[in-house]
Amino acid sequence: MEELPRRESPTGATLRFIHTSDWHLGRRLHSADLHEDHRAFLTWLLQEAQTRSVQAVVVAGDIYDRAVPPAESVTLLDETIAAFAGSGIPLLLTSGNHDSAVRLRYGAQVLADSGIHLRTDLAGVTSPVILSDDTGPVGFYGVPFLLPDAVMDELGADRSHASVLAAVGKRIVDDAAERGLTRTVVAAHAFVTGSSACDSEREISVGGVSDVPADVFGGTSYVALGHLHGAQSVTPTGSPTVVQYSGSPLAFSFSERDQVKSVTIVDIDGAGGVTTQRVATPTRRSLRQVTGRLPDLLERASGDLADLADAWVKVTLTDTDRPSEPMAQLRAVWPHTLLLEFQPDLDPDVPAGDLVDVTRGADPTDVLSDFFRHVTGNEPDGARIAVMRQAAEALQSSAAEN
């Protein structure tokens, strides 16, 4: 158990902390480097923690985007940890499914003396960080992402996240009771039943099952979740335990374009009652998605879509004929276009045919022509048929040679 010096809380009888998760340091948004966005967020986070007089910051896993992060991301975390240690605001960090637990806990025993607490293994689960306000202590428990195969025997659990976390939850509740802690916070990295995912989380299912019931940490005051990148509450109806995802501080996919990225400020009162508020994180660019024919979009770029010049943009082109160098044309008007997809707008009156029928043709040129019709809805002209024939014949002759 680590007893920490008390920081002045806003009201004295309330303990306030920031819950965040899924920083994914080192991650890119398609071709865009997010390093400066991450740096701006972490600078802002410390300022926010100081301005709002929080007593701790809890980070619920996926600190890094991958087991071996880029050197500049390691440097950024190092600088962040040093800044928090210097400010006297304790940090509790757990490892998520993207982190290497062993690499993340480098220096952990020494860092703990400076108020930087890493929880990356099963043994650390029952070693809470204890903070206090005028009412008394609050125990902060950090549960890293645990692979069922690695810990099920030790926990006497089945091979599932639900079973493993139920066993961990029981250990925590027992430990808190032993220590006489009536107010507890648990940071965990899991997929809770009924929550909504987006496109940037990595699958964690074991035997096809990834979810865990929200009441697995029942008996605690607040469960600070990581893993899902959209902020959301998953508190079971009528439960005294408040369970929330803070979401990631930055968007990592276009599926998150309508989310307001945030951190969660949590206040625990003397009776263990919890109130939360979300504070939006700084964003350098918004994410926008547009669909249409290239000439129309280019024209609108100087009109109603002019503001896309500052945004990260995903474009879906509906042209039936594929335009020449579309990305270059789009970037000329919207320099931060990151993603380009094609979805030809086919005339519904022209039957596109069935892909099974397409592959029935005996002559490879016929197959290619049918495929062309299927994709574009148009008849291939003479020049296109000539290219197809040439390609088909080249393939046939190379097959004959081998």
Q: Which two tokens stand for residue 86?
A: 């210097």
Question: Which CB sits closer to Mn ion, 113 or 203?
Answer: 203
Applying CB under 5 A, which part among 60-68, 121-129, 166-174, 362-370 lies near Mn ion? Answer: 60-68
Q: Which two tokens stand for residue 180?
A: 């006489």
Question: Which CB sits closer to Mn ion, 89 or 165?
Answer: 165
β-bridge partners, 115: none
Question: Which CB sits closer to Mn ion, 228 or 274?
Answer: 228
For the CA atoms of the chain, what is the radius of gyration?
27
Applying CB under 5 A, which part among 8-16, 55-63, 146-154, 308-316 lies near Mn ion? Answer: 55-63
Residues from 3 through 42 that contact Mn ion (CB under 5 A): 22
Which residue of 62, 133, 256, 267 would you call a contact of Mn ion, by CB under 5 A? 62
Question: Which CB sits closer to Mn ion, 76 or 358?
Answer: 76
Distance between CA 251 and CA 230 in Å, rounded? 9
Report in angstroms how near the CB of residue 167 gets to Mn ion at its nearest: 23
From edge to edge, which strands make up the β-sheet containing 222-226? 2-3, 129-132, 137-142, 184-189, 222-226, 242-245, 232-233
Applying CB under 5 A, which part among 58-66, 148-156, 320-328, 394-402 lies near Mn ion? Answer: 58-66
Contact 244, 225 (CB under 8 A): yes
Question: Which CB sits closer to Mn ion, 65 or 267?
Answer: 65
Per 3-state DSSP, the chain is made up of helix, strand and coil in percentages (nearest 5) of 35, 25, 40
Distance between CA 239 and CA 232 in Å, rounded? 16
With binding defined as CB under 5 A, does residue 99 bind Mn ion?
Answer: no
Distance between CA 270 and CA 183 in Å, rounded? 8
Report in angstroms how near the CB of residue 281 gets to Mn ion at its nearest: 15
Question: Which CB sits closer to Mn ion, 63 or 152?
Answer: 63
Report in angstroms how near the CB of residue 141 gets to Mn ion at its nearest: 20
Burial class of 42 by CB neighbour count within 10 A (0 to 12, 13 to 18, 19+): buried
Give the contact letters, 355-374, x = binds to Mn ion (CB under 5 A), - = no: --------------------
Question: Which CB sits closer to Mn ion, 62 or 133?
Answer: 62
Give the contact letters, 159-178, x = binds to Mn ion (CB under 5 A), - = no: --------------------
Distance between CA 140 and CA 184 in Å, rounded? 6
Provide the binding-site residues for Mn ion, judged by CB under 5 A: 22, 62
